[in-house]
Amino acid sequence: MSKASAAAGVPTSTPESIEPAPGDHSCCEPARPDPALRPLRGYASGKDDYLARLKKIEGQVRGLQRMIEGDKWCPDVVTQVASATRALQEVAVGLLNDHLHHCVLGAARSPDGDPEHLLDEVASTIRQVTRL
């Protein structure tokens, strides 16, 4: 876990914790409906931690709803919105880190990997994270 992610309570896996098999790009595939056929995702080793963090964020959002229902002072609500947003950003950064270390690194090491496609995918994902 990186120091920034650890400080924020965001789990990240290390490349050693979930190493895809050579030539296995299944983590880059879309989800399949059948759980038995689902690919191993980069965040798999930290899935429980991610789910716990997202449940906390869900609680923050419910608190925001109560603040609006209770006509709380605008700056207090905005402060809590910013807090929930930062928490989601940390989850996104952790997921991106896991994706880079598991899916992208594994595909880059594969002899049949497509480096241009990998770079395009990473750039697109980073653009999504920075738009948050």
User: Residues 88-115: pLDDT tens digits?
Assistant: 999 999 998 888 888 888 878 888 878 7
Q: Where are the domains of the chain?
A: 3-10+45-130
Confidence at 130, pLDDT banded by 50, 70, 90: confident
What mean pLDDT do residues 65-85 have? Answer: 97
Q: What residues contact residue 114 under an 8 Å CB cut-off, 6+ apart?
A: 107
Assign domain 3-10+45-130 to its CATH architecture.
Up-down Bundle (1.20)
DSSP for residue 102: I
pLDDT for position 16: 42
Give tens-digit pLDDT for 8-17. 454 444 434 4
pTM to 2 decimal places: 0.67
DSSP for residue 124: H
H helices of the chain, in order, are 3-8, 47-69, 74-99, 105-109, 115-130
> Which of the residue ranges 24-28, 30-34, 69-73, 106-110 would you say has the lowest mean pLDDT?
24-28
Top-confidence residue, 84 or 108: 84
Give tens-digit pLDDT for 36-63. 555 567 776 788 999 999 999 999 999 9
